[in-house]
Amino acid sequence: MRSTPGIWDRRDVIMAGGAAVGGIAMSQDVTSAWAATPKRNYLLVADTRIAASRDFAVEAMPNSERVAWIEGDITKLWYEELDTRWYDEKIAVAGLTEYGPFFCLERLAMDRGLRVAFKGSHRRDGSQLLHLIDGPKDVVTEQALNALSDQYWPAQAARMAIASRTAASMTSRLYKSSSAASEQWPLLVSWMIMPKRANGIRA
Amino acid sequence: MRTPPGISASDFADALARFASVVGKDWVFTSDEDLEPYRDAYSILWNEPDERIASAAVAPFNAEEVQAVMRIANEKRIPVYPISTGKNLGYGGAAPVLSGSVVLDLKRMNRIIEIDERNSCVLVEPGVTYFDLYRHIQDKGLNLWIDCPDPGWGSVIGNALDYGGGYTHSWYRNHFDAHCGMEVVLANGEVLRTGMGAMPNAKTWQQNKYGYGPFVDGLFKQSSLGVVTKMGFWLYPAPEVFISGVIGVPKKSDINKLVDIVNYLENTVAMRGMPVFACPFLPMGLPIPQPPGMPSADASVADQEAYAAANRIPYWTVAVSYYGGPEVVKAQWEYTKRKASGIAGATFTGGEVIAMPPKPDELKGMLSKSPFGIPALSIFSIGARSEHSDPTAGHITCSPIVPRTGEGITAAYELIQKTVTRLELPVTVLTPPIGCWARTFVILIMMAVTHDPERNKRTRTAFREMVKILADHGYGEYRTAPAFQDDVMATYSFNNHALKRFHETVKDAIDPNGIISAGRYGVWPRHLREKKS
């Protein structure tokens, strides 16, 4: 694994995340939304230190512009890219990170006319993970939530986050997973930030 | 649609339409989603009926639009709450103090109007962030530094007006003190300039603070008297090198001499970097795991000092730093060592000369780059890992100003520890004494906000009690969250609240309809004072 944050290509991501997330069955409703998702116009943010973050990136990368790697701090991403880019081009951004990077990007995005279209809080609760998901109702379904129940939950969170780009209405669900909480992170967040309006219409 | 207090829906709709005619309809926000950024993400009143919520937000593009908006608001008696970027988390964020106010969001006014490398000063609008100013200086290749807070995402003007502080040379760390000249739009839409700027075509607006006649700039600090639309600042000419050293002393009581020496060095301009004091035995210190066997804050001083001696760690340390030319700062460090060597057992480490600007590998691994005037967001990567609080709910901070003496520190921490324990305040971080401003320390007592209204209610009650107790002992807050601004103002009560009454007199004269930032820092306009009484 590279030791410093930067821009990785797909090969790096796969090496970092392993092939563990490959071949996971995708729930049908998310599959439909996934298929309808616009391609290659979102940026991925992933944290090199967090396995779940790398797994999210592996799953979401095929439709992404690229991955911006961080180590808990989005200063470089903000200063070198988004601060200027979001004035001219409100590119969507997605990822699975600690709460801090998400919080910064959420606040900065709201200042520039973007919104959080999907937010999954994955909180360690003893030996389990408690998933609290906010997203469009046609994405955050019982079937989709059930797929969060195993070790491949980051990949499912990625599918739901990316699929949220095509839906508008928000709903909220609570789901207690049976996943083993193996990582040291007490709270992780999967998210999709996207333009509030596209061509004058709420995206 | 939410409406401002006392304003009918039809009058408000009319005002919004007129605002839109000034700024454009895309820059008037009324939907819940559009108003979400104007909630205080760290509110101790989150989701409670008393949470401070805006009725709308308006984002003008320039001072002329601000004037037009203010004229409409004044005519229609619409309360407005100006923000620069609304990033003072823990102190209210972008939310108004008076629910129902229209947030006047100045983020689009983000122009760096003039920057003067030879005189090291700049004139900016409120939407200019520390990142913006830093980028501008880098892009232009100017030999200047900024002094930024941590995090550095906020407004240069907003931070200064809220009495924020930074981390470089002491002439620049006090951001309000480092300003020079303002442009202010008053409630009636009139625009004034302070200092030399009051003279048309002034050539020294950003070089001379005082101009002619009474100095009024302080009226606009933590204020509800006007909308600051431009402000000048003195910048730091980039120093050639930086030195940081650490002085350690073995005994608890050594802090008395140590602070005096640091004060002397600062006040004689021999040491102008920010002194950073630390002690491993401070009560409820930063949530860093302590080594096994280390005495707690409650242990006897003898046990603590014995542990420190056995493990060859100082009881107190202070990191001192110097900026300037290499000949000067080396001499200053040597002078510092000579002055502090009078404390028995004092140790000195560091003192390496680092050429400025620092190289990337020198910055790597540093959590904060603020001592080099480089803005960052890395501080958020600490709080998010806290096991002691919910990072999604934020914190509030009790921030007493305490004397710059060792005895002052000792007395303040004893009081704070006793009070926090008795009131069961949910303290997550209690900082060492922070020396960002000359002549005093500030201690930050950070407390967790939750999403549980009952817990937040208990915290509010205890926080208010803490403010009173600190004030009874002579320690005043320098700023606070909106929920406590009346409580803190009530502690500045000399001569039957003469200062507050003066503020109210000025408020009523300058803003007779009471439309600007009602209630900010405990100053309410006449009609709302009468309603409250």
The per-residue pLDDT for B287 is: 52
Q: pLDDT averaged over chain A?
A: 79
Q: Catalytic pick from B163, B478, B492, B526?
A: B478
Top residue of B385, B386, B450 to mutate, by most chain A CBs within 10 Å, is B385
Q: Is B103 left (phi over 0), alpha (psi -120 to 50) or beta?
A: beta
Q: Are A196 and A115 in contact (CB under 8 A)?
A: yes
The per-residue pLDDT for B381 is: 80
Q: Which residue of A has its CA nearest to B27?
A: A113
Nearest in space to A103 (alpha carbons), one of A79, A59, A68, A72: A72
Nearest in space to B481 (alpha carbons), one of B48, B97, B57, B49: B97
Residue where a domain terminates, one of B75, B105, B135: B105
Instruction: Check if B134 is active-site.
Output: no
The per-residue pLDDT for A203 is: 38
Whether B333 is covered by a domain: the verdict is yes
B87 touches chain A (CB under 8 A): yes
Residues B423, B447 share a domain: yes
The per-residue pLDDT for A182 is: 65
Quote the CA–CA distance of B164 and B157 in Å, as a whole number: 10
The per-residue pLDDT for B129 is: 98
Nearest in space to B28 (alpha carbons), one of B64, B54, B63, B67: B54
Residues B95, B170 share a domain: no
Closest in B34, B364, B380 to A104, CB measured = B380
Q: Find the domain containing B163 and state its range.
A: 112-237
The per-residue pLDDT for A63 is: 82
Quote the CA–CA distance of A144 and A29 in Å, as a whole number: 7
Q: Are B161 and B228 in contact (CB under 8 A)?
A: yes
The per-residue pLDDT for B120 is: 98
The per-residue pLDDT for B284 is: 62
- Rounded to 5 degrees, φ, ψ at A124 are -70, 130
For residue B378, list chain A residues with Cβ-Cβ distance below 8 A: 72-73, 75
Whether B79 is covered by a domain: the verdict is yes
Is residue A202 predicted with pLDDT exceeding 60?
no
Q: What is the mean pLDDT of each run of 10 residues along chain B (533 residues)?
A: 94 98 97 94 95 98 98 98 95 96 98 98 98 98 97 96 95 97 98 98 97 97 98 98 97 98 97 94 66 87 95 96 97 98 97 92 80 93 60 90 97 94 89 93 93 95 98 97 98 98 98 98 96 81
Q: What is the CATH number of the domain that holds B311?
A: 3.40.462.10
Q: Where are the domains of chain A?
A: 7-18+27-202
Residues B248, B282 share a domain: yes
Q: What is the CATH number of the domain that holds B511?
A: 1.10.45.10
Distance from CA of B44 to the nearest CA of A (A): 18
The per-residue pLDDT for A126 is: 81
The verdict on ipTM greater than 0.85 is: yes
Quote the CA–CA distance of B57 and B29 in Å, as a whole number: 5
Q: Catalytic pick from B173, B272, B479, B520?
A: B479
Whether B372 is covered by a domain: the verdict is no
Quote the CA–CA distance of B529 and B527 in Å, as a whole number: 6
User: Where do the H-state alpha helices sit in B24-129?
Assistant: 32-35, 63-76
Whether B307 is covered by a domain: the verdict is yes
Structure confidence at residue A127 as a pLDDT band (50, 70, 90): confident
Whether B197 is covered by a domain: the verdict is yes
Q: What is the CATH number of the domain that holds B17?
A: 3.30.43.10
Instruction: Check if B521 is active-site.
Output: no
Cα dihedral B481/B58/B224/B159 (nearest 10) = 60
Residue where a domain terminates, one of B222, B237, B252: B237
Quote the CA–CA distance of A83 and B32 in Å, as a whole number: 25
Is residue A4 predicted with pLDDT exceeding 70?
no
Neighbouring CB atoms inside 10 A of B98's CB total 22
Residue where a domain terminates, one of B212, B237, B262: B237
Residues B233, B117 share a domain: yes
Residues B191, B132 share a domain: yes
B32 touches chain A (CB under 8 A): no
Q: Are A9 and A19 in contact (CB under 8 A)?
A: no
Residues B51, B133 share a domain: no
B388 touches chain A (CB under 8 A): no
Residues B499, B528 share a domain: yes
Neighbouring CB atoms inside 10 A of B418's CB total 12
Top residue of B380, B388, B389, B451 to mutate, by most chain A CBs within 10 Å, is B380
Residues B453, B423 share a domain: yes
Instruction: Check if B413 is active-site.
Output: no
Nearest in space to A134 (alpha carbons), one of A175, A165, A170: A170
Is residue A37 predicted with pLDDT exceeding 50?
yes
Residues B256, B207 share a domain: no
- Give pLDDT tens digits for A46-66: 999 999 999 999 999 998 999
Whether B426 is covered by a domain: the verdict is yes
The per-residue pLDDT for A175 is: 73
CA distance readout (Å), A30 to A26, A137, A188, B156: 7, 11, 21, 45
Residue with tokens 């926080």: B463
- Give pLDDT tens digits for B169-195: 999 999 999 999 999 999 999 999 999
Quote the CA–CA distance of A75 and B168 in Å, as a whole number: 20
Residues B271, B217 share a domain: no
Distance from CA of B51 to the nearest CA of A (A): 19
Closest in B85, B107, B384 to A98, CB measured = B384
For residue B430, list its beta bridge partners. B445
The per-residue pLDDT for B346 is: 98
B378 touches chain A (CB under 8 A): yes
Angle at B473 between CA B469 and CA B479, to 5 degrees: 70
Distance from CA of A74 to the nearest CA of B (A): 7
CB contact under 8 A, B384 and A104: no
Peptide bond into B357 cis (omega under 30): yes
Q: Is B290 left (phi over 0), alpha (psi -120 to 50) or beta?
A: beta
The per-residue pLDDT for B387 is: 52
Burial B314-332 (b: 16+ CB within 10 A, else e): bbbbbbbbbbbeeebbbeb
The per-residue pLDDT for A199 is: 36
What's the number of domains chain B is made of? 5
Quote the CA–CA distance of B480 and A139 in Å, as a whole number: 41
DSSP assigned state of B165 = B
The per-residue pLDDT for B72 is: 98
Quote the CA–CA distance of B229 and B232 in Å, as a whole number: 11
Whether B306 is covered by a domain: the verdict is yes
Whether B498 is covered by a domain: the verdict is yes
Instruction: Judge residue B235's burial from the number of C-beta atoms within 10 Å of its C-beta, 0-12 exposed, 13-18 middle, 19 or more buried.
Output: buried
Residues B155, B69 share a domain: no
- Give pLDDT tens digits for A128-184: 888 999 999 889 988 888 888 888 899 999 999 999 987 666 676 767 776 666 677
